[in-house]
Amino acid sequence: MTTSSKPLAGLKVIELGSLIAGPFAARIMAEFGAEVIKIESPDGGDPLRKWRKLYQGTSLWWYVQSRNKKSVTVNLKHPAGREIAHQLVAEADIVVENFRPGVLEKLGLGWETLSAINPGLVMLRLSGFGQSGPLAQQPGFGAIGESMGGLRYVTGFPDRPPVKTGISIGDSIAALWGVIGTLMALRHKEQNGGQGQVVDVALYEAVFAIMESLLPEFDVFGFVRERSGNIMPGITPSNTHSTQDGKHVTIGANGDAIFKRLMHTIGRDDLANDPQLADNAGRDTRRDEIYKAIDDWVAAHDESEVLRVLAGAEVPASRIYSAADMVSDPQYLARQMIETASLPDGRPFKIPGIVPKLSETPGGTEWLGPALGEHTDETLQRLGYSASAITALRAAGSV
């Protein structure tokens, strides 16, 4: 698959973001063929370059988060740097940014300025609280969005404080909504006269939007969903159980027919045939009894035996995968979810495959996250800057 045959080929994206939400949104676009020019400060660039585990000074996360992107260093505080940004925006389809609201406006790069330069521009703006409202000017990271959006409140066990997931999921959820909104805006532009618009994604709203029936249940019944550990409240059985050999298996048997198969499989024909347990409402009222039966059976077997038996009974179940499980798993490998790439020194390493899978125009990895400013000269030359002009810009600290 060549870049030109990917579904977003021909789109030009300017990324002004850093760290997670904005860069993840632009990464998805780059994986599916868009030309993404990431503008970074000459003074170190995106902080993600130094986050988490470093290999020879560069974050392994960086190589994945910025694959297929071009890195151009521009000092947006310099007039000459802003002029470069304006020129890039003039020929772009999309700008992605995740600064605190007001920052770009102070730099002369706000929506009013950029849309005047390029009326067809679609600008994806990701921020903690959105571009309006009393909290708009406040800083807000993914953790704040997860907390305000309701996810943290329902995560964990009822006898302990709220916990977070092991990743910055609020940022990633916001990025996904951002890509969806951007593609919607491009569709509108194509169908309705070529006018661009702002796609405004607040991290807390992105999380709130996935919170299922949390709000209407509160409004109609006064019910506040609380932390419930590993069970799915109101949907039974769906839980994680400990095996004889100290492993953990998640079992989802909340379908009526699946529940019967599970109960027969674990030797509880009495529960399988109990008319009170024929539907979810009946099962949920007796969930403690049901979970004890499953717990007892799982605890008497090793993980491999539990998974083998349940697979034979067509009961959805899974081990709790670590990275070590993923890299050798037949399903991961069959669907090309474990790719092998090379670090700058030639060392091979594994990176995640591309999601989603498109049958005719799939995405792909063309190159890994670039060195800081790797594409500055070629980009400026394309804009018409001479070699001497680029040297002068660099000497002035503008690029």
Euclidean distance between CA atoms 292 and 295, whole angstroms: 5
Catalytic residue status for 325:
no
Of 186, 248, 236, 198, nearest to 96 by C-alpha is: 198
Q: What is the pLDDT of residues 290-336, one digit of tens each?
A: 999 999 999 999 999 999 999 999 999 999 999 999 999 999 999 99
Catalytic residue among 46, 171, 200, 284: 171
CA atoms lying within 13 Å on the CB side of residue 150: 15
Residue extents of the structural domains in the chain: 3-209+336-395, 238-319
216's CB contacts (< 8 A; 6+ apart) are: none
* Structure-derived torsion over alpha carbons of residues 340, 345, 347, 353, reported in degrees to the nearest 10: -20
Superfamily, domain 3-209+336-395: Crotonobetainyl-coa:carnitine coa-transferase; domain 1 (3.40.50.10540)
- Residue 57 confidence (pLDDT): 97
pTM: 0.94
- Residue 193 confidence (pLDDT): 85
Of 381, 365, 319, nearest to 66 by C-alpha is: 365
Mean model confidence pLDDT for the chain = 96
Burial class (CB in 10 A: 0-12, 13-18, 19+), 367: middle
- Name the phi and psi angles at 215, rounded to 5: -75, -50
**What average pLDDT score do residues 250-272 get?**
97
CA 339 → CA 18, 20, 303, distances in Å? Answer: 25, 21, 28
The answer to whether residues 71 and 370 touch, using CB atoms and an 8 Å cutoff, is yes
Euclidean distance between CA atoms 356 and 353, whole angstroms: 9
The answer to whether residues 16 and 96 touch, using CB atoms and an 8 Å cutoff, is yes
Euclidean distance between CA atoms 264 and 271, whole angstroms: 8
Residue 1 has pLDDT above 60, yes or no: no
Superfamily, domain 238-319: formyl-coa transferase, domain 3 (3.30.1540.10)
